[in-house]
Structure 1
Amino acid sequence: MPSFPFTRLAAVPYAPLLVTQARRLRRDTPRLPDAALPWTGSRPGPDPLRILVLGDSTAAGVGAETQADALPGWIAHEVAERWGRGSTWRAIGANGATARDVRERFLTDAAAVPFDLALLTIGANDALGLRSRSAFTRDVRRIVLALRAAAPEAAVLVSLMPRFDRFALLPEPLRATLARHAASLDTGARLAVEGLGGVVAIPTPPPYVDGFFASDEFHPSALGYRLWARFVFDSAPGLRLDRPAG
């Protein structure tokens, strides 16, 4: 479930209304559990690709029953479909995590085990918390640089902001306010990782289809994670994973 710590709303003309809307959403939005353990798994096939999914509630698989039905499992599925390779995967993250949380709490563990492909999914909670663009941008760059240093031959895919303007559960003007701030953070983070070797910033997602969201209307469902994984690779046509790294 999203938390809504609107710490910067004093500068927003609609601050009282936005705070009221945020509190109501926090009260009324159902809190879905993380995907069931284990958060590691494998898919059979030759030359297994080592996959790391790192980030917030979407790395934790909220909205899906297991990680096999969330990003790790569907990323492995796409790797098998596109390149004919098996895979091992693991997920690290937490519901509600910001980029700072990932950098401070999870990055050391993430970088400690070898990987060939990392998907960093981060940003929604930074937008919800109205973190500054400079702070978010700095954290994303530090995370990506640390992943690159840990695995120089690996590909690092960075999936940033959802489209808050398309979230039906968000009332106005809360929806528009979050969408504007998220767009600013998204732009800053893309500029921060632009030009880094082996790094691809995934574009903002296309329109969400029926069934994309779980019952809380905020996190992806198993179908949503499947479509997301497909979109990730469709958005990185130059990515080559048909042979072992190095």
Structure 2
Amino acid sequence: MSDVRPPRSLRLSRAIAAAQAPVLLAQGRQLRRDTPRLPDAPLPWSGTVEPSVPDVEGRASRPLHLLVIGDSTAAGVGVDHADLGLGGRLAEALARRTARPVHWRAAGRNGATAGDLVKHFAAPALDEPTDLVFLTVGANDALALRSTRAFRRDVRRLIELTFSEHPQAALLMSSLPAFFRFTLLPDPLKRSLYRHSQALESEARTLVDAHPRAHMSPPPPPYTDGFFASDDFHPSALGYQDWAEFAVDDAFSVGFDRLLGDA
């Protein structure tokens, strides 16, 4: 665990946003008026992906149980079938890398913060068999300018809930969106939102890095053409695929697959 404090601009991200509040609020209202509101992917948010090549070590009969928990990205906003959303795409990437079937399910809500996940979704979702939790949260905490202290508390609680219910599970947490690359966001809203998201991410990364069975993805690479859905905010089917492959490839590059071997 690192004891290095984040840069001062991140520690003061809420104060800087408060000073810009009149402009930011006006830009936020305009953005909500102009941006189409896409629906969640239709239910069910669950499925099974079979490996295309069996595992030569004989593990193919032992499926991995994947839980994706989070906000609109867990809900599959941006695609018209949950298999094309984050849960289904992560299952595809995991089945390909592990040569094991992946039973996946998603829980959460469009607009959910980390606090919402703690209060309403984590406990019931973790009641089911779980080998790997993929946590995708923080964008709405940044949009709501939640404090780093509150976000850290909620992420800590999500980690605690995961491992108290499933001590041999593994947890992957996504980095927060690179808001500075979102073309629909005007300045200074874009800069302010990205600054605060990085302050939140710094807090979460410290917690995740401290746990031996958890890993947080690095900041994402530049978004490819076609990454975004029609609202220019949520991922498309291609975007979810890019995201899932990036997250799984990174996790396996640091030996995360050894943790899945326990499952």
Which TM-score band (shorter chain)? Answer: over 0.9
Contact 1:51 1:90 in 2 (8 A): yes
Q: Provide, for residues 61-94 of structure 1, a one-character-per-residue CA deviation record: whole Å limited to 9, x for no partner.
A: 0001111101111111111211111111110010
Q: What CA distance in whole angstroms lies between the structure 1 residues aligned with 2:15 and 2:78? A: 29
Q: What CA distance in whole angstroms lies between the structure 1 residues aligned with 2:259 and 2:174? A: 22
What are the ranges of 5 or more consecutive residues in structure 2 without an aligned counterpart? 1-13, 52-59
1:1-246 mapped onto 2 (5 Å cutoff):
12-45=18-51, 46=60, 47-236=62-251, 237=253, 238-240=255-257, 245-246=262-263
Q: Provide, for residues 98-154 of structure 1, a one-character-per-residue CA deviation record: whole Å limited to 9, x for no partner.
A: 000000000111111111111000000000000000100110111011101111111
Q: Provide, for residues 22-80 of structure 1, a one-character-per-residue CA deviation record: whole Å limited to 9, x for no partner.
A: 00011111000001111111123522111100000000000011111011111111112
Q: What CA distance in whole angstroms lies between the structure 2 residues aligned with 1:240 and 1:179? A: 31
Q: Which moved more, 1:120-129 or 1:191-200?
A: 191-200
Quick one: which amino acid aligns to residue 31 of structure 2? Answer: L
Identity %, equivalent residues: 51
Q: Provide, for residues 1-36 of structure 1, a one-character-per-residue CA deviation record: whole Å limited to 9, x for no partner.
A: xxxxxxx68963322111110000111110000011
Q: What CA distance in whole angstroms lies between the structure 2 residues aligned with 1:219 and 1:127? A: 15
Q: What CA distance in whole angstroms lies between the structure 1 residues aligned with 2:99 and 2:260? A: 10
Contact 1:74 1:229 in 2 (8 A): yes
Q: What CA distance in whole angstroms lies between the structure 2 residues aligned with 1:243 and 1:192? A: 20
| Partner residue, 2:3 | none
**TM-score (ref. length: structure 1):** 0.93
Instruction: Please give the secondary structure, in 1, of the residue aligned with 2:19.
Output: coil
Q: What CA distance in whole angstroms lies between the structure 1 residues aligned with 2:259 and 2:122? A: 27
Quick one: which amino acid aligns to residue 125 of structure 2? Answer: A
Contact 1:83 1:242 in 2 (8 A): no
Instruction: Please give the secondary structure, in 2, of the residue aligned with 1:157.
Output: strand
Quick one: which amino acid aligns to residue 91 of structure 1? Answer: A
Quick one: which amino acid aligns to residue 192 of structure 2? Answer: T
Contact 1:42 1:86 in 2 (8 A): yes
Q: What CA distance in whole angstroms lies between the structure 1 residues aligned with 2:122 and 2:260? A: 26
Contact 2:76 2:82 in 1 (8 A): yes
Q: How many residues align?
A: 239
**TM-score (ref. length: structure 2):** 0.87
Quick one: which amino acid aligns to residue 135 of structure 2? Answer: L
Contact 1:124 1:160 in 2 (8 A): no
Contact 2:132 2:260 in 1 (8 A): no
Q: Which moved more, 1:191-200 or 1:23-32?
A: 191-200
* Structure 1 vs Structure 2 CA RMSD: 1.7
